[in-house]
Each structure stands twice: as C-alpha cells, then as structure tokens.
Amino acid sequence: MTINELQDEIIEEFELLDEWTDRYELIIEAAKALKKKMPESDKTDQNLIDGCQSKVWFTAHMEDGKMQLNGDSDALLVKGIVALLLYVLDDHTPEEIINADLYFIDRIGLREHLSPTRSNGITAMLKQIRLFALAYQAK
C-alpha cells in the first residue's frame, strides 16, 4: 500500500469516532498493537529524539531498498503516535518518505488535541525519520 492509502485508512478509522476520548483510546490501542518491539539495546541516548516531552527512540535500517523503521516511547499515548507513524512510513523507500505529505496528523485532529510539547514531539519524530531517509537516499 502507498503512504497515502495508509494515511487514508487511519483517517477513515478516526472519522468513525466523534469523541476525543475515544480517539485517544484508539491511539493507545495502536500502541498496544505495535508489531515491532524495539530491543532494549536500541533504547540509547543516540536513538533518543530531541524535542519530545517523553522519551522516544527511533531506529532505521535498509532492507531490499526500503527503510525498516522502529520506534518506542516510555509514554503510552506517545507510543501510540509512534505506532501510527510506523504504520504509515515503515517499509517504504527513502524517496517515498522524503516526498510524503503526511496529512493524516492534521486531518485526524491530532496536533490540535495534544499539548504544545507533544505536538512539537511529533514534528521532532518526523524530522528524524526524514533525516534517516535523506541519509539513506544519499548512499
């Protein structure tokens, strides 16, 4: 599936829920359903994302021309946001990630319903993922 198809899938799921308490619950469920478990050995200062209120780690490596992303957080809600980002961006080429317009974050109302520091954290996570993509594209 393309990045946009995956984003549209998330938007459709969130549109079924009117209340933000239900949407928060959906984000927390995404955290619990996260398929990739980040090894404790990857939860290092080197993989820590600057600018996040909670501790958030991201790693990336290439496999068959596609980026394999992994992430985790010590806060359940933030881990859910990590899970959504991984759902949309994992297993795509660096070019696809660099060129992606990640509209789902605003379309589901995520930024407006998070504290400013959490919203800044999303920006920091996306910046790191794009930096990984730029580094792999340059190789």
Catalytic one of 34, 52, 60, 108: 52
Model pLDDT, residue 104: 97
Model pLDDT, residue 107: 95
- Condensed to tens digits (0 to 9), the pLDDT of residues 3-32 reads 999 999 999 999 999 999 999 999 999 999
As a whole number, mean pLDDT of residues 55-75 equals: 97
One DSSP character per residue, the chain reads --HHHHHHHHHHHHHT--SHHHHHHHHHHHHHT-SSPPPGGG-SGGGBPTT-SS-EEEEEEEETTEEEEEEEESSHHHHHHHHHHHHHHTTB-HHHHHH----HHHHTTTGGGS-HHHHHHHHHHHHHHHHHHHHHHH-
Model pLDDT, residue 100: 97
User: pLDDT band for position 115 (50/70/90)?
Assistant: confident
As a whole number, mean pLDDT of residues 72-97 equals: 97
As a whole number, mean pLDDT of residues 50-73 equals: 94
Which CATH number applies to 3-138? Answer: 3.90.1010.10
Model pLDDT, residue 112: 87
Told to judge if 52 belongs to the known catalytic residues of this protein, a careful annotator would answer yes
- The residue ranges of every structural domain in the chain are 3-138
- Work out the percent of the chain whose per-residue pLDDT is above 70: 100
pTM, to two decimals: 0.95
Residue 51 clears pLDDT 90, i.e. is over it: no
Residue 58 clears pLDDT 80, i.e. is over it: yes
